Structure formats: C-alpha cells, structure tokens
Amino acid sequence: MNGSKEAETRMGKVPEWRSVRRDWLMHSMGYSEESVKRPYVAVVNSWSEMNPGHYHLRELAQAVKRGILMAGGTPLEFNTASICDGFVVEKRLVLPFRDLISFSIEMMLKANSLKGAVFLTTCDKNVPAHLMAAARVNLPSIFVTGGPMLPGRYQGRDVVCCTDGRPMIGKYMAGEVTEEEFREFSLTSHGSIGACGMMGTANTMQCLAEAMGMSLTGCASVHAVSPAKYRMAEESGRKIMDLIAKDIKPSDIMTKQALSNAVRILMAIGGSTNGILHLLAISHEAGRPLGLDAFEKLSHETPFLCDVKPSGKYTLRDFDEAGGVPVLMKHLADVLDMDVMTVTGKSLGENLKGIKPTESDVIRSRKNALRQDGGIIIIKGNLAPEGAVIKQTAFPESRRQHTGRARVFNSIQFVERALNDGSLILNDEEVLVLKNQGPRGAPGMPETHIPPVFYARGLSNMLIITDGRTSGSTTGPMVLHIAPEAAAGGPLAVVEEGDTIKIDVENRRLDVLLTDEEIKRRQKLLQPRDFEKDPFVTGWIKQYAESVGSSSQGAIIV
C-alpha cells in the first residue's frame, strides 16, 4: 500500500517523458543539472572557412554565448550553410541557397525545444535566409550581423574589392596597368575579414536587418574586426533573455510599418537591387507581403542620402564613422514609423533618442540630399508588365532615355568569351538583352556582372536588360528582375535580334517597339523549357525550378 502511494507521488513529479530523455542526452554531453533547468537558446551560426564574411563568426559566437550564460540561459550552437557569391563558381546555385538555408534553420528550430534564437550571419543570401527563417518560426530572436571588412589601400587611396576590382581587371586587359600594379591591387583590395566594404548586397542586408528592428542599434556598420562588434555580440546574448522573458517575437517586430522603414532605408542608402528581392521574400514569410508598387511609392517619397560605393565615393568605414544607420534614420525621422518595436524591447524612437543627425559628405541631411527620390526605382512597360528594377544612383544620365537595337543572348559568359576572342562586336548604342536568367529560367537567377572586358572594349555604358540579377557592387545602366521572366512566357522571351528597345527612366517605361498583336503572335510560338535535358537540373535545383515563383514576389518557393 505504501509502495503504491509512493509510486503515485513519483508519477506526479515526473515531467513529460520526452523532456526527461532530452535532459539525459544533455547530461551525456557534460551539461549539469543546473544547465538543463535553464531556457535553451539557439545560437544559429553561419561560420565558415569558405569566405571572409563568415570566417570570424566562430569567435563572435563565443561572445554571444557569454551574454546568454550571464543572463541565465543555456546556449546551444548549431551551424548553417553559408555562401559567398565571390567564391561560388556556378552562379546559378547562389539564390537557391537562400531558401535551402532558410528551410534548414526552420527545421532545426522547430525540431528542438528552444525558447529563443540568436542569429549570426553576414553575407548576401545568408542574412535574408536567416530573417526568413526567423519570421517563419517566430521564436524570440535577435541578429548579430558580422559587419563589413575594412577597405583596402592601393597607391594611397581607399579601394573596395568588387566595385574597384572589375574596372581594374578591365584596365589590366587593356594594358593600362602593369603586371606588378595588378598584383599589388590583388593583394591589398580586401582590407580584412568581413563583408565586402561597399554598399553591396551583404552590407545592404545588414543595414536592413537593423532598420527593421532585428539587430541592436548601430550593429550593421560596426566592422568585423572591431572590438565593438564582440561587445555588441555579448550584449545581444543578454538581450535575447529579455526578449524571451517578455515574449517579444519577430511577429511583434517585423510589422508592415517596420518593413516599410526598411524599404525607406534601402532607398536612402542607394542599396543593392537584391534588397528588393529579399525584402519581398522576408515580408511574405512575416505574413505582411509587400509588392513592387510599395517600393516605387516609397522611393518617390524617400531621398537618397548616402554617398557610398558603388553609388558614391565613400566606403563602409566612412559610413560607420559618420554614424551609420542610426544617424541616417535620424535624418529620416519624419518619414519613418518611430513607434515600431525593436529587439531592444524599446521602440525605434526610444533607441534613437540620444542620436544626433550630424551632417557629413557621407550621410547627407535631407536638405542636401544627393537626390530627392530613392536609389532604386520600379519601371514597367510592354517588356515588364509586372515590373523591373533599376538602381538609378548607379545608372548614367546618358542612358536614362535611350533607344537602341537589341542584341540578344542567353548567357553573359558567352558574350564575355566572344568579346575576348574577337568573334563578337558590340557598340554601346545597342541594347544587350539577356534572356532566361530568371529564377526558373536559369534556373537560379544568377548575377549578371558587367564583365571586365566591357571596360576594356569601351562598353561600360551599354544598356543591359535582363530577367536576372546583378551584384550589389555593380554600376552601370542595367534593367533587372524583368517580370514575368522569359521562361514563364513573359514578353522578354519574344525579343529577337534587331528589335528596337526603348527605355525612359523618368517615365518609368521599358518597351520593345512591337505591336501587342506581334508580341502575342510570337508568344504562341514559344516552346516550354525542357529541364529533363539539362544535367544541371537535379536534386534540390530540380525541386527549386519546379516550385520557385516570380521575382516580382521575391522568388519565393510556392
């Protein structure tokens, strides 16, 4: 009888058996009874030796874990894949990595008993992938972005890798610089580990993570090699425990108003066109979908204030020293929603209370804006019924109104090789049309860099239109993300060699000078893409090609 009562008492004390089993597994790894009683906090780390943007995150994670332990949590770190566009040889793989990373994080966070998560990430596709996963899983979350690299120094001046690098390769090909000068640039153009030091996609996305309230104030531009980055990481570790205690989740932070703030910052910094693609996807996962029309509207209302490469002349170090995102947001306080919640547990307005809107050549005041509208615009026309994207701050005045003969290709690599060997001749009054570069058509929407041979051949002002993307480090007259894409039967698919293309940036138009009847006639003759004959389209890429949506909606998996 007594044994039976004792058994009943014990039954009342035993927690759910799965949690008992989990605690035993934790003990097997050396965790104490005290550790397993504390809230488990994921440290989602994209550390890798494969690229400079993530090279330092293993050490940065130690600072995060210090903060979590100090605030009463038990940190549990796991790795995610990370990718650097510069390292990847097959560029079609890059955008599909965004969704693969996002799904893998989602599964890890959902599968384990976690109270919150700290995300460590830096580069182009990685930051949006982590933000998408955070929005989808909706645990209390905070981001520690890895920060920019220092600029390089070449012949007494600051240089940044990609933006200054491609023209340098062109000069080398044209015989304008010596072998030794080229070697010196190669060794000095990257000043440290971290994200490439211009307002390319990586630093754009770090700024947008801060702008939407998902990282601490000032985090985006604190450089990878700065001690301040490690202090901020520790602070983020402590802060996640506050977010858990107050049950503040990404859904409380990534609101429609916060996402609109991020769009405005994208316009003000002259950020990467990839920022539009990723914000569309993030907003979808957050359940507050943006549309391209919202970007165009906010671009009209938001001035371009940051004279930072590739749109301007300064580096990310200059941007950071001028005050970074907090000073920029202070300049834009009258058009931003200051009541939105952030990961500090305070509103954006409270975070910026002590920030002074100091004027500089790097971050301008509104009255001294570089432009009164934003760095990126959306255009439409009979070639882009759903829309297309232009980074107008990197777009030369000579091409804002232009009419030219179409030269049509399916590969920028083919164009580059043919220009190199002399089998192709182009002139910069023509329009280079690159088809089948979209999310489905490539598949994978590879970046269309302006090849160095364009600089060597005097073609750097040639208008390029494509359903693909470009690097955030690129300058030049490019019309990107044309939707619907060619592979989906969009009008771009029917453009033929010799057709006349007309662009009018001021009136937001991109057209092929064909009648509607002729466009429809040609569309009826289109043959669907046969992926079965493409050896590239296997495994995940095959799944991606079959399920990816339009770039006008963020190229999300649908």
What residues contact residue 200 under an 8 Å CB cut-off, 6+ apart?
A: 124, 162, 163, 272, 310, 471, 472, 473
Residue 417 has φ and ψ, to the nearest 5°, of -65, -40
Task: Answer yes or no: are the C-beta atoms of 85 and 195 closer than 8 Å.
Answer: no
DSSP string, 235-301: HHHHHHHHHHHHT--HHHHS-HHHHHHHHHHHHHHT--THHHHHHHHHHHHTT----HHHHHHHHHH
> Is 192 a known active-site residue?
no
Residue 369 burial (10 A CB sphere; 0-12, 13-18, 19+): middle
Task: Tell me which residue of 395, 397, 402 sits closest to 476, measured CA to CA.
Answer: 395
CA pair distance 142, 105, nearest whole angstrom: 14
Q: Which of 102, 236, 311, 471 is catalytic?
A: 471
CA pair distance 484, 487, nearest whole angstrom: 8
DSSP string, 58-125: HHHHHHHHHHHHHTT-EEEEEE-----TTT-SSGGGHHHHHHHHHHHHHHHHHHS--SEEEEEE-STT
Q: Give 212's DSSP letter.
A: T
Q: Cβ atoms within 10 A of the Cβ of 21, count? A: 10
Strand 40-45 versus strand 74-79 pairing type: parallel
Task: Answer yes or no: are the C-beta atoms of 452 and 173 closer than 8 Å.
Answer: yes
Give CA 276 to chain center in angstroms. Answer: 8
Task: Tell me which residue of 97, 149, 107 sits closest to 128, measured CA to CA.
Answer: 97
SS3 call for 352: coil
Residue 432 has φ and ψ, to the nearest 5°, of -85, 120
Strand 509-512 versus strand 500-504 pairing type: antiparallel
C-alpha distances (whole Å) from 54 to each of 119, 163, 531 are 12, 20, 34
Residues in the chain: 558
Residues with a known catalytic role: 471
